[in-house]
Chain A
Amino acid sequence: MIINHPLLGPRDSSEFVYLGDASLMNRPQWKGEEADLVKTEETIKQYHDYLYLRNNPAGEHQELWYHEQGDRSWLVVTRNTTTHNISQVQMAKDVALKTLREK
């Protein structure tokens, strides 16, 4: 596969390390010390769901790729898992900053 890196252009997928569903970027917000309502079951469940309940669709999937043999960027790659067609590649940091601003 070829991943079109936003900064470096088309790169072979063998330069990358795959992580998985991009929802791993949506880590639950730390509630601060006041939440030492000591880790209610609910908070633990939030982290549990974040870590373990991820989508694995047959079709369009947003996933994380790391350019380890390159510039060390984490990328959010939108890839169709049945055709390997890649429709969008973004810098993960840009995506994360955007999410942060929208909060």
Chain B
Amino acid sequence: MNQNFRISSANNSPLINRDKTMSFHFNGQIFKGHPGDTLASALLANGQKLVARSFKYHRPRGIFSAGSEEPNALMCLRKGAYQEPNVRATVAELFDGLEAFSQNHLGSLKHDLMAVNDLFSNFLTAGFYYKTFMWPKAFWEKFYEPIIRSSAGLGELSGDEDPDQYDKGFLHCDVLIIGAGPAGLAAALASAQAGSRVILADEDFEMGGRINSETFHIAKMHGSDWVKSTLAQLSSMQNVRLLKRTTVLGAYDHGIYSALERKTDHLTSSGNKPRQILWRIYSKRAILSAGATERPIAFANNDRPGIMLAGAVRSYANRWDVAAGQNVSIFTNNDDGWRTASDLVAKGVQVKTVVDTREIKPIADIPGAAIEMGAQVVDTQGRHALKSIQLSNGKQIRTDCLAVSGGWNPNVQLSCHHRGRPVWQEELLAFVAGGELPPGMIVAGAANGKLDLSSALSSGHNAARSISDELGHKGKIEACAIAEGESTNNSAFWFVKDKGKTKRSWLDFQNDVTTKDVRLAQQEGFVSVEHVKRYTTLGMATDQGKTCNVSAMAVMAENLGKTIPEIGTTIFRPPYTPVSIAAYAGRSRGKSFRPARLTPSHQWAKKAGAEFVETGTWLRAQWFTKEGENHWQESVNREVTQTRNSVGICDVSTLGKIDIQGKDAGEFLNRIYCNTLATLKVNMVRYGLMLREDGIAMDDGTTARLSDNHYLMTTTTANAVSVFRHLEFCRQCLWPDLDVHFISATEQFAQYAVAGPNSRKLLQKIVDPEFDISNEAFPFMGCRNITVAGGTPARLFRISFSGELAYEIAVATRYGNSLMEALIEAGEEFDVTSYGTEALGVMRIEKGHAAGNELTGQTTALNLGMGRMVSKKKDSIGNMLSERTAMNTDDSIRLVGFIPVDRTKVLNAGSHFVSKGRSVETKNDEGWMSSVTFSPSLNHSVGIGFIKNGHNRMGEIVLACNPLQGNLLEVEIVSSHFIDPKGERLRA
């Protein structure tokens, strides 16, 4: 295609680089453009009018605007994994080789088979879904939903993983200036001169805002020259950061703003740089100078390709040297529309007619154009592109582009993100920022209703001055640049009344909402603006109704005989423009979704054939596959058997370790644990149970007393962080007078359980000979500071989770991997095994130890069979509320063991217990199975769980019901200590 619509004149735009031509594809066809083009301006330059199909009726649509407010021209860019749907062509920067595709059509763009929807438009009105898909009920899942799903949405994702990177970052400044139009630039210059740290952000790739689209002079130079020199000045200043291609998305608490910078979207390839960066900007003050958005006038068939916003038609002519049509007509209710006419003529574009709704004398002489005052456009013709328009005075005019101006709406969105409502200004016929602004924000320029250039400049400048005063930044601010003023007279004309009420006038182009839909919604009782919005989906498309909201309110007001401010606005929420999920995810994808913590001997475990499991953020060895083992159960059974018969080693470094010191450490622990810790002797270890204040068990573990004022607490892996937080709460908020301090030592020590009848013999080979670890010198629940392997400091604890003679040995983290190697080597003669979390779990169930499955946040010390541990002689967290009557009834649930009556059957965790002879119903529920395992030691399935009054029901047969898996099993209540109930092995 040739750029037949590119205008060449004496005053070519400086923002288009004609020395370089780029080619791009649209629906497979090759087009040409220049650096400086957007996809939209390049398409128009090539005469491409039809670019999209509307959402509901599949109406042919063309480019409507020249900015981020675009409702129509949504496209799919790039191919394959890089494919990105719903990109607004009006903000997509052109690059060489860009591939763009139109979306939302079946068949070609020109001959969309779904356009049949338009014929049924009488049925597809407001509330269509609510009314149609109600019945029959059975149709929903199989019929309606699949159809709706396949027709919902516009563009499609590729389904492949996005290969690009996205990043997040933090920025700090004194003044954040949102929008680099006249007000923003004037504000940035003044703030920077005052000495403030300034961030100036603008969504465009070319700063300057509307100045780039106009022909005004500022400070006696052409507007775009003034922008250039101002930007040069700003970028030479150390205290200024210019962020172009950056949309400020939302205003959050305490001066925090989010912004999306499109870093490499405009390049053929991102080249390993982030595609987009989501910034969090911390500001002391903010100036919202986001400009204004033009609104159209609604009239019958106002959605044809070629009908555009007048300001956009002017932008395409002035900034991009593109004529939106060969003979353009203007439809306006204000003076600004006339400027489009005169600017087009200046560029050599033929203006056919100017239609002004006002009964005043013409504003200007437009050479070659017919002037129709007090007239309206009542209908249009042309299926795939505008061909002609019809006026209220009966004239029919052949024209290929209609530039519509209904006035300008200040971009107040960000000023409302703290739920402040904009206020109506009758003289402007628009809402401006008002009410409660986000603290620290000033609104300036067109965003604040200063629609003419001269007052936009000065309002930005003055906003910066007052902020500099507040912040005490005293640098010399130069006088504000002067510009000529222009006329912005406006009139209240919102939509052309359709006398027959048969034709459709579009309000929301993207969601296909017409004035009729709004009327219908109100007739059906949806009167509130929030209800109309949700019922008709007006303003709920990806453009959030930027071009249509205010006009729609005018329609509602008219229908109800109210004024626009009486109708009220809906609430603006972030983000200002759509943001891809990838940007919000940033680097938190795949393996980086959250950190993985590796234990000190992770490398050893990997070499030894470990399968790893995520426990919280830790990766722990679950089991070790040896040669010839084909199923995890085989490996786990072997690990358990070898440990119980001889010796096994398990990495328990992930347990939380908290080092507690101070002369009140014992007293502190007494108050933390429900049992007594202060009486613990030095070099001994005690089990402790921690309750929450409500009397429910919170965590358990062993605590060692290393010296008079020095304890080492262990917590479960899962609760390490929350227990530490709890301890700090108790120390700082409850008992600040206690002399106690602590620090987490979880990552400072590697710790290994050495369990089994040969564990002492193995350790004796490692522990330096001066330390006697015989049963007499180092009894059960003893602990010592020792050295191993010829002088390496270590701590040895004689504690057991497996029920065997067992120890835990800790060394500094950096020795963990070597210690593991040394232990395995020393154990060779005993046929030592390493074991993982599965075997650990099997052995603790066989021993009847409670763990996470039992400490569920629902169980008390009494339930766990540890009721007598709660010392009544001292204060401790949870002590008092564990006394509550309801938690101490005779039929409270108790932790006991269960075995299947038929030993060949397998128990299910989560089964509920019902007494024999009772029906399987919730009302007969007596408790649940919390942990089950196949016991290699007993050669059948065993479980532990809670059942009412369990400790008094030994030997009783009950039913374990698992309705989910449809099985019902007879089980016998037994002691939860399946192995060595007297604890002889521990003390051996």
Q: Which residues of A contact B (CB under 8 A)?
A: 1-2, 17, 19, 24-25, 27-28, 30, 33, 36, 38-39, 43-44, 47-48, 51, 64, 66, 68, 72-74, 83-86, 91-93, 96-97, 100
Residue contact B253 to A96, C-beta cutoff 8 Å = no
Given contacts A1-B254, A44-B880, A84-B254, contact A74 B736 (CB under 8 A): no
Tell me which of B439, B733, B880 contacts A93 (CB under 8 A).
B733
Chain A CB within 8 A of B728 CB: yes
Residue contact B733 to A47, C-beta cutoff 8 Å = no
Known A30-B874, A64-B729; 17 more pairs at CB < 8 Å: A1-B254, A2-B253, A2-B282, A25-B734, A39-B880, A44-B881, A47-B693, A64-B733, A68-B725, A73-B732, A74-B729, A74-B732, A92-B732, A96-B732, A96-B733, A97-B737, A100-B737
Residue contact B693 to A51, C-beta cutoff 8 Å = yes
> 16 interchain pairs (CB within 8 A)?
A1-B253, A17-B725, A19-B729, A25-B733, A33-B873, A36-B872, A38-B872, A39-B880, A44-B884, A48-B884, A51-B881, A74-B729, A84-B253, A84-B254, A93-B731, A100-B737
Residue contact A66 to B725, C-beta cutoff 8 Å = yes
Nearest chain B residue, comparing its CB with the CB of A40: B883
Give 9 closest A-B pairs by Cβ, nearest first: A30-B875, A93-B732, A2-B254, A96-B736, A84-B253, A47-B880, A25-B733, A1-B253, A74-B732
Q: How far is the CB of A85 from chain B (nearest CB, A)?
A: 8
Residue contact B694 to A51, C-beta cutoff 8 Å = yes
A10 to B748 CA separation, bound complex (whole angstroms): 30
Tell me which of A24, A38, A47, A97 contacts B881 (CB under 8 A).
A47
A42 to B729 CA separation, bound complex (whole angstroms): 26
Nearest chain A residue, comparing its CB with the CB of B282: A2
Contacts of A28 in B (CB 8 A): 880
Q: How far is the CB of B526 from chain A (nearest CB, A)?
A: 29
A74 to B737 CA separation, bound complex (whole angstroms): 15
Chain A CB within 8 A of B187 CB: no
Chain A CB within 8 A of B961 CB: no
Contacts of A30 in B (CB 8 A): 874-875
Q: How far is the CB of B957 from chain A (nearest CB, A)?
A: 38
Chain A CB within 8 A of B194 CB: no
Q: How far is the CB of A37 from chain B (nearest CB, A)?
A: 12
A44 to B729 CA separation, bound complex (whole angstroms): 22
Contacts of A47 in B (CB 8 A): 693, 880-881
Q: How far is the CB of A13 from chain B (nearest CB, A)?
A: 8
Residue contact B733 to A92, C-beta cutoff 8 Å = yes
Contacts of A84 in B (CB 8 A): 253-254
Chain A CB within 8 A of B256 CB: yes
Residue contact A43 to B880, C-beta cutoff 8 Å = yes
Q: Which residues of B contact A (CB under 8 A)?
A: 253-256, 282, 418, 439, 693-694, 721, 725, 728-729, 731-734, 736-737, 872-875, 880-881, 883-884
A36 to B725 CA separation, bound complex (whole angstroms): 30
A73 to B731 CA separation, bound complex (whole angstroms): 10
Residue contact A44 to B883, C-beta cutoff 8 Å = yes
Tell me which of B728, B737, B873 contacts A72 (CB under 8 A).
B728
Contacts of A51 in B (CB 8 A): 693-694, 881
Contacts of A25 in B (CB 8 A): 733-734
Nearest chain B residue, comparing its CB with the CB of A24: B733
Residue contact A48 to B736, C-beta cutoff 8 Å = no
A51 to B881 CA separation, bound complex (whole angstroms): 9
Contacts of B418 in A (CB 8 A): 83
Nearest chain A residue, comparing its CB with the CB of B439: A85
Q: How far is the CB of B810 from chain A (nearest CB, A)?
A: 23
Nearest chain A residue, comparing its CB with the CB of B744: A72
Q: How far is the CB of A25 from chain B (nearest CB, A)?
A: 5
A23 to B736 CA separation, bound complex (whole angstroms): 16
Nearest chain A residue, comparing its CB with the CB of B280: A12
A51 to B691 CA separation, bound complex (whole angstroms): 14
Residue contact B733 to A74, C-beta cutoff 8 Å = yes
Q: How far is the CB of A35 from chain B (nearest CB, A)?
A: 10
A59 to B729 CA separation, bound complex (whole angstroms): 25
Nearest chain A residue, comparing its CB with the CB of B734: A27
Q: How far is the CB of B712 from chain A (nearest CB, A)?
A: 18
A44 to B881 CA separation, bound complex (whole angstroms): 6
Q: How far is the CB of A69 from chain B (nearest CB, A)?
A: 11
A25 to B873 CA separation, bound complex (whole angstroms): 23
Q: How far is the CB of B16 from chain A (nearest CB, A)?
A: 43
Q: How far is the CB of A73 from chain B (nearest CB, A)?
A: 7
Q: How far is the CB of B693 from chain A (nearest CB, A)?
A: 5
Q: How far is the CB of B639 from chain A (nearest CB, A)?
A: 36
Q: How far is the CB of A72 from chain B (nearest CB, A)?
A: 5
Contacts of B253 in A (CB 8 A): 1-2, 84
Q: How far is the CB of A97 from chain B (nearest CB, A)?
A: 5
Residue contact B880 to A74, C-beta cutoff 8 Å = no
Q: How far is the CB of B909 from chain A (nearest CB, A)?
A: 31
Contacts of B282 in A (CB 8 A): 2
A80 to B227 CA separation, bound complex (whole angstroms): 43
Residue contact B873 to A97, C-beta cutoff 8 Å = no
Contacts of A66 in B (CB 8 A): 725, 728-729
A72 to B726 CA separation, bound complex (whole angstroms): 11
Contacts of B731 in A (CB 8 A): 93
Contacts of A85 in B (CB 8 A): 439
A92 to B728 CA separation, bound complex (whole angstroms): 11
Residue contact A48 to B733, C-beta cutoff 8 Å = no
A85 to B438 CA separation, bound complex (whole angstroms): 11
A24 to B282 CA separation, bound complex (whole angstroms): 32
Q: How far is the CB of B669 from chain A (nearest CB, A)?
A: 15
Nearest chain B residue, comparing its CB with the CB of A101: B737
For B693, B694, B731, B880, the residue with the greatest tally of chain A CB atoms inside 10 Å of its CB is B880
A5 to B253 CA separation, bound complex (whole angstroms): 16
Q: How far is the CB of B291 from chain A (nearest CB, A)?
A: 28
Q: How far is the CB of A96 from chain B (nearest CB, A)?
A: 4
Residue contact B883 to A39, C-beta cutoff 8 Å = yes
Residue contact B736 to A93, C-beta cutoff 8 Å = yes
Contacts of A2 in B (CB 8 A): 253-256, 282
A84 to B253 CA separation, bound complex (whole angstroms): 7
Contacts of A38 in B (CB 8 A): 872
Q: How far is the CB of A21 from chain B (nearest CB, A)?
A: 12
A55 to B725 CA separation, bound complex (whole angstroms): 23
Nearest chain B residue, comparing its CB with the CB of A72: B728
Given contacts A33-B873, A84-B253, A96-B734, contact A48 B881 (CB under 8 A): yes
Contacts of B872 in A (CB 8 A): 36, 38
Q: How far is the CB of B438 from chain A (nearest CB, A)?
A: 10
Q: How far is the CB of A89 from chain B (nearest CB, A)?
A: 12
Contacts of B733 in A (CB 8 A): 24-25, 64, 74, 92-93, 96
Q: How far is the CB of B807 from chain A (nearest CB, A)?
A: 32
Contacts of B881 in A (CB 8 A): 44, 47-48, 51
Nearest chain B residue, comparing its CB with the CB of A100: B737
Residue contact A97 to B736, C-beta cutoff 8 Å = yes
Q: How far is the CB of B93 from chain A (nearest CB, A)?
A: 33
A52 to B693 CA separation, bound complex (whole angstroms): 10
Contacts of B256 in A (CB 8 A): 1-2
Contacts of B873 in A (CB 8 A): 33
Q: How far is the CB of B169 from chain A (nearest CB, A)?
A: 13
A100 to B889 CA separation, bound complex (whole angstroms): 37
A44 to B884 CA separation, bound complex (whole angstroms): 7
A64 to B729 CA separation, bound complex (whole angstroms): 10
A102 to B376 CA separation, bound complex (whole angstroms): 79
A65 to B737 CA separation, bound complex (whole angstroms): 20
A23 to B725 CA separation, bound complex (whole angstroms): 17
Contacts of A1 in B (CB 8 A): 253-254, 256
Q: How far is the CB of A1 from chain B (nearest CB, A)?
A: 5
Nearest chain B residue, comparing its CB with the CB of A67: B728
A92 to B418 CA separation, bound complex (whole angstroms): 30
Nearest chain A residue, comparing its CB with the CB of B880: A47
Contacts of B729 in A (CB 8 A): 19, 64, 66, 74
Contacts of A100 in B (CB 8 A): 736-737
For B282, B728, B737, B874, the residue with the greatest tally of chain A CB atoms inside 10 Å of its CB is B728
A2 to B729 CA separation, bound complex (whole angstroms): 21
A17 to B726 CA separation, bound complex (whole angstroms): 12
